[in-house]
Amino acid sequence: LLKRAEQGDPEATRFVAIGHEQGLFGFAENSVEARNYFEKASDLGDPVAQVVIAELLLGEDGSEKDEEAVELLKSASKADNPQATAKLGYCYASGIGLPKEDHNQAKELYQLALMTDDTDGNYQSNQLPFDDLKAEVNLLMVFSEIEENPHTTLGLWFVPDLSLIHI
């Protein structure tokens, strides 16, 4: 695994990162090494690693880091990663890493995330199961609508696995 990662295999590099993150595959748990390998995998174009690094950047201070995170999410979203698409929608809804909020673009991205099935069976660190992603995206859509139109009555929204929520 390490040999493939050293040869520039993005997926192997991500798995080495996961190994360091969780102490798997014979690697010692080491958050610094995990981040280094996630960054390498992200640089190699691995969409899952791009989401992981984007999440880390969004948790740090600075608009430059937010802008970098948005670019990583755009790249991962283009690779049909639904988590990246949903998180990118959140960035558009909130104006994070972007010049301004764009609720219409956020809604389009949320819908796209729901339509993008990610069931290839590969383990993906820091990602929700697809049903949980659907629930998260539905909630994000509701809250985006509330932010955009605070005086609008939304009625009942169905959220998978969370029953009905009345707003």
What digits encode the pLDDT tens for the residues 83-123? 999 999 989 988 999 999 998 898 899 888 888 755 443 33
Calculate the average pLDDT of the chain: 79
Residues in the chain, total: 167
pTM score of the predicted model: 0.73
Q: Alpha carbon of 85 to those of 30, 76, 78, 120, 131: distances in Å?
A: 29, 8, 8, 17, 15
Q: Show the DSSP H helices in 7-62 as ranges.
A: 10-22, 31-43, 47-58
The total of other beta-carbon atoms located within 10 Å of residue 105's CB is 15
Residue 132 pLDDT class (50, 70, 90 cuts): low
Supply the pLDDT for residue 130: 45
Q: Tell me the mean pLDDT in the region 4-26.
A: 95
